[in-house]
Amino acid sequence: MRISRQLVSLALVATIIVLGSQLALPIGEGAPGPAKPIVLRVKSDLGSCTGFVVSSRQTASGAWRNLLLTAGHCLDSKVTVDDILALPVAFSTGRRNGGQDYAVFSYETPQAVPVAQVRREPLLRWEGGVGEPLYVWGYGRGAEKPWGSSGWYLGEDPDGFIVFSAKGEFGFSGSPVFDGSGRVVGIFVEAVAAPCKGLPCPRELGAPSYAVPVGRALDATRETWSLGR
């Protein structure tokens, strides 16, 4: 296991050099880094969130049925995805409760929608200045165009949430949290003002952000077989 950590650490050297001492680096559309998942604006009476599509399949009518993941606390009686009415498929709205805060919506479009690649493999936790970088990308602060920030994977809290150091903003809820290969590992759900608890998080990393592991939401749908399971 020690050899494995060393090999992974060497593979991350280039990324660490780029990030330097900045542990929560804002990123824009033209910024270097991994390919960013296509994100969509999710609106309801509760406000504006972000979402991403994990399945797009053509129906007998010729339309494309898309499955979109977002945060559970974005759920309301009427939800639109880029102004198209969406219907809930599976959801858990318990914010930070047992690792649950996700929603899966279905909506139709006349053409296929780009699908995010997902990752279920374990992440390398930040330790001694070396770790696995994570990125969040969405409509933070209600911006017209998506943007994001980057940080480090810190571990998993007692409730099963992914904890990482990227700075979160209002509107990021439901955004994809992805690795250096552009694969989605989680659904952004919350940024807090207090330091993380129950994890060895150095002070210099600041307050953490939280994400639901993407596999938890996928397992709640009957279409996970279409994602390679």
Amino acid at 86: A
Q: What is the mean pLDDT of residues 44-64?
A: 92
Dump pLDDT digits (tens) for 166-187. 888 889 999 999 999 999 999 9
pLDDT score at 108? 93
Say if residues 182 and 37 touch (Cβ distance below 8 Å).
yes
pLDDT band at 7 (very low <50, low <70, confident <90, very high): very low
pTM, two decimal places: 0.80
Per-residue pLDDT band at 195 (split at 50, 70, 90): low
Q: 125 in helix, strand or coil?
A: coil
Q: What is the pLDDT of residues 156-169, one digit of tens each?
A: 888 888 988 888 88
Lowest mean pLDDT, pick from 58-62, 99-103, 111-115: 99-103
Q: Is the pLDDT of residue 206 over 80?
A: no
92 neighbors 148 (Cβ within 8 angstroms)? no
pLDDT at 216: 84
pLDDT of residue 100: 77
34 or 200, higher pLDDT? 34
**Nearest of 108, 74, 68, 71 to residue 89 by alpha carbon:** 68
Cα distances from 184 to residues 6, 75, 76, 79, 215, in angstroms, run 24, 21, 24, 23, 10
